[in-house]
Structure 1
């Protein structure tokens, strides 16, 4: 389990999810595209929905629990990037099956 530290707050995500979020965040911010990032908190962590505004003016720290870089699912990255361009912003979604 790792964490995303942003705006003085810390949010827990598994390392695999964090890896994919790091790719999407860095892609968007390199393009100078600010966005909302939203996700549903699992019941075991209190439930509810979170939404934070991501921009280049606030430092972001990704902290990974493991030392190995997970394999990247390009389909998931593409789906996350596609959602980030919508009005509601980046919506964390379950990982799709990787194609062939």
Structure 2
């Protein structure tokens, strides 16, 4: 479980390392542009029910702490989804990673040998 510290808030925000790594990229991209925005998330099962929203501003200190010593491999699709939400009026909505578990498309091998059709020029 990673941790995000924002401003002088005494309560750290616990976020799973992989999610925090993706969120970090989206947040840093926005802050580098000098843009202010919100980040919202649903509370974890071990916390009181509800949700939270932070207003992030480039002049407020922000720190990310990861439990895992090695950086995680990022999913371009998840970062892009977070960036789309960051650019909306609602700000970043931290959502679980959507893994594509559908069947993998296959390509039929080209026929070769006697009787195989030649590709059109």
Structure 2 counterpart of 1:58, from 57, 60, 67: 60
Aligned length: 100
Q: How far apart, CA to CA, are the structure 2 residues paired with 1:70 and 1:98?
A: 18
Deviation per residue, 1:33-70 (Å, 9 max, x gap): 11011000022122211001001110100011110111
Which ranges of 4 or more aligned residues in structure 1 deviate by more than 6 Å?
A: none
Aligned counterpart, 2:39: 37
Structure with more contact order per residue of length (Cα contacts < 8 Å, sep ≥ 6): 1
Structure 2: state its 5+ residue gaps.
105-121
The yes-or-no answer on 1:89 pairing with 2:91 is yes
Between structures 1 and 2, the one with greater helix share: 1
The yes-or-no answer on 1:22 pairing with 2:33 is no
Q: Give me the TM-score of the superposition, normalised by structure 1.
A: 0.92
Q: Which protein has the larger Cα radius of gyration, Structure 1 or Structure 2? A: 2
Between structures 1 and 2, the one with greater strand share: 1
RMSD: 1.6
CA contact (8 A) 2:30 2:36 kept: yes
Aligned counterpart, 2:77: 75
